[in-house]
């Protein structure tokens, strides 16, 4: 029986652990540090934090793990996959050199320019003065981004020069994201799409499309978050469009990184804007998206363990295809009071069993166990995913289950997949 170690503690990792457990290879699934939700599902938590790379490598060796699946970006950018490789442990995810595509927006923008991938035009600011000098000539709305990993929060969309001045203060005055360069980008209009491709260093194999909701409030109002909900598949994004995007976006990156001697293995996540001039890349990530993964993996019919294991081998995906269920999936994120500016912890959560009995899959994003009770322990607390033959039915099931869950200060969006349901007419 293969043994798999999932690195992380969020909803994405919980969804990965569950999908792995459904593999016909019947793997033993461990997690580190793990979460109370994963423990409830019987996945042993090793408790080693994602920042303790040496600890994770030592545990993977000691426990004779066959495959380590890395969820979050930080350990990838810091070189966990390189370290595991040196220790002779197979790992799913890119090396530090390949993960730079997520770790540095400036690097990713240059790479896209070099390869000719459609994306927003941009420029870099290294200082407050440089930024202030340029703002009067920028066109608005404009987008300002910190060049660091900021869990989706380092992006400020500025409707006017005055807003851009305030944003520049956040980056260079307040230094909310530390000492970072700042990227100014052209604002792209359109609908967003998340398209993940599994990569084996040579080939980019697209997964099913998904959409996520970045803003905290209904109708895409309020500040950006790590993601407040998702659904999959996406109306009008058919197999042909998925193939086209993979060939014009993912595959050229995989080819270029291979040519540069830093082959990309793992998930290459393109965050795209479907603009009137065609799809353009907003950003690349080097790992599964959260919360898109929670909506995507329940639709997967193929053996996820085989897919991840093949991605970790050079050209391992050769001849591999992925099968998806026809069902729609909708994921609603339940967040704690104060999110995204802050978060609240220690609030008792009730109704988890009722929500599951209502036919939803609950994954834990930020919970803790105190005196036998599950309590909040983070900004995004729980994800509620339901499947259905139409986006409308999946949506109804997800919200019916979400409404069974209670905790003080709970926030959720009420419009996840609403437009998809309207478009599909069900």
Q: Which stretch binds ligand AMP (CB under 6 A): 42-50, 184-192, 300-308, 330-338?
A: 184-192
Instruction: State how far the Cα of 411 lies from the Cα of 337, in Å rounded to an integer.
Output: 7
Beta pairing, strands 3-8 & 67-70: parallel
Write down the least CB distance from residue 215 to ligand AMP, Å: 8
Instruction: State how far the Cα of 70 lies from the Cα of 60, in Å rounded to an integer.
Output: 12
Q: What is the DSSP string of 92-153?
A: ES--HHHHHHHH-HHHHHHHHHHHT--B--EEEE-SHHHHHHHGGGS-SSEEEEESS--TT-
Task: At 195, list the tokens.
Answer: 């398209």
Question: Could you say which of ligand AMP, ligand GLY, none residue 66 binds, taking C-beta under 5 to 8 angstroms by partner kind?
Answer: none
Considering only residues 120, 138, 168, 329, which one is a binding residue for ligand AMP as defined by CB under 6 A?
120
Q: Which stretch binds ligand GLY (CB under 6 A): 137-145, 250-258, 282-290, 378-386?
A: 282-290
What is the contact mask toward ligand AMP in residues 77 to 116, using x (rule: CB under 6 A)?
A: ----------------------------------------
Considering only residues 14, 145, 299, 413, which one is a binding residue for ligand AMP as defined by CB under 6 A?
145
Q: What is the DSSP string of 41-90?
A: TT-EE----TT-HHHHHHHHHHTT-SEEEE-SHHHHHTTHHHHHHHTT--
Q: Which stretch binds ligand AMP (CB under 6 A): 52-60, 125-133, 150-158, 413-421?
A: 150-158
Instruction: State how far the Cα of 367 lies from the Cα of 346, in Å rounded to an integer.
Output: 9
Write down the least CB distance from residue 192 to ligand AMP, Å: 6
Residue nearest ligand AMP by beta-carbon distance: 283
Task: Map residue 20 onto helix, strand or coil.
Answer: helix
Write down the least CB distance from residue 266 to ligand GLY, Å: 14
Answer left, alpha or beta for residue 372, where phi above 0 means left and psi between -120 and 50 means alpha: left
The residues pairing with 272 across neighbouring beta strands, listed in sequence order, are 193, 281
Considering only residues 32, 180, 224, 311, which one is a binding residue for ligand AMP as defined by CB under 6 A?
224
- Check if the beta carbon of residue 305 is closer than 8 Å to that of residue 189: no
Report if residue 214 touches ligand AMP, rule: CB under 6 A: yes
Considering only residues 285, 311, 344, 383, which one is a binding residue for ligand GLY as defined by CB under 6 A?
285
Selection from 408, 371, 367, 405 nearest residue 14 by Cα: 367
Please count the CA atoms within 13 angstroms of the CA of 230 that sit on its side-chain side.
Answer: 27
Name residues contacting ligand GLY, limited to 359-398 (CB under 6 A).
none
Instruction: State how far the Cα of 293 lies from the Cα of 226, in Å rounded to an integer.
Output: 13
Report if residue 188 touches ligand AMP, rule: CB under 6 A: yes
Which run of H or E residues covers position 252?
helix 251-259
Question: Could you say which of ligand AMP, ligand GLY, none residue 311 binds, taking C-beta under 5 to 8 angstroms by partner kind?
Answer: none
Considering only residues 140, 177, 187, 217, which one is a binding residue for ligand AMP as defined by CB under 6 A?
187
- Check if the beta carbon of residue 108 is closer than 8 Å to that of residue 77: no
Name residues contacting ligand GLY, limited to 100-129 (CB under 6 A).
none
Q: Which stretch binds ligand AMP (CB under 6 A): 182-190, 198-206, 338-346, 388-396?
A: 182-190
For ligand AMP, which is the closer residue by CB, 185 or 292?
Answer: 185
Report if residue 384 touches ligand AMP, rule: CB under 6 A: no
For ligand AMP, which is the closer residue by CB, 200 or 212?
Answer: 212
Considering only residues 227, 298, 378, 391, which one is a binding residue for ligand GLY as defined by CB under 6 A?
227
Report if residue 283 touches ligand AMP, rule: CB under 6 A: yes
Question: Could you say which of ligand GLY, ligand AMP, none residue 217 binds, taking C-beta under 5 to 8 angstroms by partner kind?
Answer: none
Using omega within 30 degrees of 0 as the cis cutoff, is the peptide bond preceding 291 cis?
Answer: yes
Report if residue 147 touches ligand AMP, rule: CB under 6 A: no
For ligand AMP, which is the closer residue by CB, 121 or 350?
Answer: 121
Contacting residues for 45 by C-beta, under 8 A, at least 6 apart: 30, 31, 32, 33, 34, 35, 38, 39
Considering only residues 37, 94, 233, 289, which one is a binding residue for ligand GLY as defined by CB under 6 A?
289
Instruction: State how far the Cα of 59 lies from the Cα of 213, in Å rounded to an integer.
Output: 36
Selection from 8, 7, 13, 12 nearest residue 333 by Cα: 12
Q: Which residues bind ligand GLY (CB under 6 A)?
A: 152, 212, 227, 285, 289-290, 292
Residues at the site binding ligand AMP, with contacts judged by CB under 6 A? 120, 143, 145, 152, 155, 157, 185-188, 192, 214, 224, 271, 282-283
């Amino acid at each position: 029986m293969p043994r798999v170690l999932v690195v992380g503690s969020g909803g994405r990792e919980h969804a990965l652990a569950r999908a792995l457990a459904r593999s016909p290879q019947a793997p033993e699934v461990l997690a580190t540090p793990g979460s109370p939700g994963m423990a409830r599902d019987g996945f042993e938590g090793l408790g080693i934090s994602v920042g303790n790379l040496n600890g994770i490598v030592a545990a993977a060796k000691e426990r004779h793990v066959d495959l380590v699946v890395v969820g979050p970006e930080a350990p990838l950018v810091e070189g966990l996959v390189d370290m595991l490789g040196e220790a002779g442990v197979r790992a799913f995810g890119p090396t530090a050199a390949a993960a730079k595509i997520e770790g540095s927006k400036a690097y990713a923008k240059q790479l896209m320019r070099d390869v000719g991938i459609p994306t927003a035009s941009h420029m870099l600011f290294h200082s407050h003065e440089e930024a202030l000098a340029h703002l009067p000539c920028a066109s608005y709305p404009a987008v300002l981004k910190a060049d660091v990993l900021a869990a989706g929060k380092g992006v400020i969309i500025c409707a006017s020069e005055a807003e851009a001045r305030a944003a520049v203060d956040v980056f260079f005055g307040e230094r909310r994201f530390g000492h970072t360069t700042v990227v100014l980008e052209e604002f792209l209009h359109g609908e967003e799409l998340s398209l993940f491709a599994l990569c084996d260093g040579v080939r980019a194999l697209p997964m099913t499309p998904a959409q996520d909701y970045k803003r905290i409030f209904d109708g895409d109002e309020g500040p950006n978050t790590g993601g407040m909900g998702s659904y999959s598949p996406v109306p009008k994004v058919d197999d042909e469009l998925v193939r086209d995007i993979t060939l014009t976006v993912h595959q050229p990156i995989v080819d270029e990184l291979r040519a540069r001697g830093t082959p990309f293995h793992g998930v290459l996540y393109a965050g795209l804007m479907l603009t009137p001039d065609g799809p353009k890349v907003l950003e690349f990530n080097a790992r599964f998206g959260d919360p898109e993964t929670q909506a995507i993996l329940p639709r997967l019919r193929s053996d996820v363990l085989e897919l991840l294991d093949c991605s970790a081998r050079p050209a391992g995906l050769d001849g591999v295809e992925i099968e998806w269920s026809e069902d729609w999936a909708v994921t609603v994120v339940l967040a704690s009071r104060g999110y995204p500016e802050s978060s609240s912890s220690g609030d008792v959560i009730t109704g988890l069993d009722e929500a599951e009995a209502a036919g939803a899959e609950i994954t834990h994003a930020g919970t803790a166990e105190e005196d036998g009770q599950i309590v909040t322990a983070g900004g995004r607390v729980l994800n509620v995913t339901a499947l259905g033959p139409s986006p409308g039915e999946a949506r109804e099931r997800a919200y019916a289950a979400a409404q069974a869950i209670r905790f003080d200060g709970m926030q959720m969006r009420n419009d996840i997949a609403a437009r998809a349901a309207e478009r599909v007419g069900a």
